[in-house]
Amino acid sequence: MIPGDAVLDAFINANILFVVAFVLWRAARFALDHAGLKHAYATQLKLLNTVFVAIVLSPFLILGLTALQSALGQGVNVNLSDMVVSYYLNGGFEMRATEFERLMSMRDTFTADVMRAGSWVAWAAIAAFVVGLAIGTVRLVFSTYCLHKIVSVSYAWRKFGRLRIRLSDKTLVPFSTRGLRNYYVVIPSNMLGNADELKVSLAHEFQHLRQGDIEWEILLEALKPFFFLNPAYHAWKRQVEDLRELSCDSQVLASGRVGVRAYCETLLSVCQQTLRRDRVFVVAVPKVTLVTADRSALRDGKMSFLEQRITTLLDARSLSYPRLVYAALILPLLAAIMITAMAIQSPGDWSHDRLMLSTVVNLERLEEINRLSTFGRVRN
């Protein structure tokens, strides 16, 4: 059985990694934009998904790297805590050893405090996590129920293997989702009277299925309650949602089966319908839709995501050597994630530097005891 403190430690590391990975991703996207690769949306989406998998698997990867270092002998120590201790002992900065030790052990102290619920800070952290998890779980269960309700009351129209195309009078926006076995593409019934909109909607949702966007949406929504309090996770999810739509748009147009004008007109028409959509459809997840209305952008006077999509469609470009671009970016990103994951691990056995620090701390404490004893004798 895995100890509770190890689980808590891994959870803290995952939250830190999401923050670091999002910062690295923003830097990578900045580099892509300035290298003329802004429109490489499929590659960017693939990068995000790969880094996400690396974060989730990082505890197992760290165990593998640690075992490999042990088998090969002494490896390179990249633990951040050990490096800071070494820097301090070499005179990198001035601070009392007792204060420095207290600062370096804050995380271990917090972890132990939370495990035994020993202070109001620990209780506040536990309460915040439990409330966030409860809100996220209730929202997910209710949203899944709403989605199931929309799909269950729709009408069967076409069937191809595990794919089910259904017509609905309850939604104005095409979307796709899946069950335990079958995939579902739900189309508003009124689209049967407009061949262009129907063609665009089906092509768009089929592309989502080919990209595996449904599975990624399910995974991100399932983990969302656990990272409810981490803003980097929410920002990461929004990036994935935006990139998968931009990637899907570019891939559908690249196939040549749908014209740009028909595609843009469909997006505008469906978006106009979404402004009148019901609340049940808004909260229903996990699903991927053709388009959604960005009400906050309309209210704040900013460029909406729909406007960005249409601008991108009108300025569509094909990427040369996408695999080469992907490889050139994913290798340094994964290396940075792995180094960070190793750096933020709790230090293992006592190193020479930590023994030296402990000795200095004990000497300071002994000096303080002698000082107080001498002060007491002088007063007497």
pLDDT single digits (tens) 211-230: 999 999 999 999 999 999 99
Which of the four pLDDT bands, split at 50, 70 and 90, describes residue 93? confident
CB 295 within 8 A of CB 301: no
Angle at 230 between CA 3 and CA 132, to 5 degrees: 75
**Residue 11 — left, alpha, or beta (φ > 0 → left; ψ -120 to 50 → alpha)?**
alpha
pTM over 0.85: yes
CB 281 within 8 A of CB 150: yes
Tens of pLDDT along 339-350? 898 888 877 666
Number of H helices and number of E strands within the chain?
15, 5
Distance from the first to the final alpha carbon of the chain: 58
Angle at 190 between CA 185 and CA 196, to 5 degrees: 75
Measured CA to CA, the distance from residue 258 to residue 254 in angstroms comes to 9
Amino acid found at 15? N
State both tokens at 322: 């996408």
Tens of pLDDT along 160-177? 999 999 999 888 889 999
Number of Cβ within a 10 Å radius of residue 242 = 16
State the number of CA atoms in the 13 A half-sphere of 364 facing the CB.
13
